């Protein structure tokens, strides 16, 4: 054997790590599969945690429970879709594709309900600062000795008439004239 053929044999043997079902795998492919296996283990642990949390979800609002169930369904269907892809099976004609589409529709419905619920809460919210200003003004108007039987709009009109007809300046000017006459 020549030195060139030895180098090729060494290079090919160092690039392959082991054999699976008679097929040699490249070291990069082996590392990718190991990473995938580790990620799959993490997903399995997360799914087990979700199953444990099912009792907690029963005590939450129906919308929160629906969000949880849809998220779980989407995750599991996505995993199965990925599994089919890794096996070389076309998932487009498979029923998992229809399930994923159905779950996406439910996600859209839940988002719509959440938006409607948020808008409803915003519409019902009371502006505390505005409410306190209204109460303070009402109390202040009542403390000034206003006639409680008159509506607030009538009180405002009377105030406007006094300002328009004979304002504060005009009253002060009259008082000043009277005071001058008394001095002379």
Q: What are phi and psi of 15, to 5 degrees?
A: -80, -25
pLDDT at 109: 94
Q: How is the chain split into domains, by residue range?
A: 23-52, 61-125
Question: CA 144, 146, 147 angle in degrees (round to 5)?
Answer: 155
Q: What are phi and psi of 126, to 5 degrees?
A: -95, 135
Structure tokens at 169: 């300046």
pLDDT at 25: 67
**Cα–Cα separations (whole angstroms), residue 167 to 63, 92, 152, 161:** 62, 84, 21, 9
pLDDT at 49: 79
Which element (helix H / strand E) includes 18? strand 16-20
pLDDT at 98: 92
Instruction: Give the whole-angstrom CA distance, residue 130 versus residue 137.
Output: 11
Question: CA 41, 47, 48 angle in degrees (round to 5)?
Answer: 90
pLDDT along the chain (184 residues), means of 10: 44 44 70 84 80 77 87 87 86 89 94 89 75 85 65 54 59 79 68
- pTM over 0.85? The answer is no
Instruction: Give the whole-angstrom CA distance, residue 131 versus residue 125.
Output: 12
Name the β-bridge partners of 23. Answer: 20
């Amino acid at each position: 054997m020549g030195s060139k053929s030895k180098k090729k044999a060494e290079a090919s043997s160092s690039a392959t790590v082991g054999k699976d079902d008679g097929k040699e795998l490249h070291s990069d492919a082996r590392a990718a599969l190991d990473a995938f296996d580790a990620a799959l283990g993490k997903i399995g642990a997360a799914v087990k945690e979700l199953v444990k949390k099912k009792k907690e979800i029963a005590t939450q609002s129906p919308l929160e429970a629906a969000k949880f169930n849809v998220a779980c369904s989407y995750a599991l269907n996505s995993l199965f879709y990925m599994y089919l892809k890794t096996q070389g099976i076309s998932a487009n004609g498979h029923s998992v594709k229809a399930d994923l589409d159905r779950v996406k529709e439910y996600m859209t419905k839940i988002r719509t309900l959440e938006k409607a619920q948020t808008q409803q809460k915003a519409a019902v919210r009371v502006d505390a600062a505005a409410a306190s200003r209204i109460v303070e003004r009402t109390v202040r108007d009542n403390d000034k000795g206003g006639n409680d039987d008159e509506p607030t709009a009538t009180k405002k009109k009377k105030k406007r008439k006094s300002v328009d007809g004979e304002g504060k300046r005009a009253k002060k000017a009259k008082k000043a004239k009277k005071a001058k006459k008394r001095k002379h």
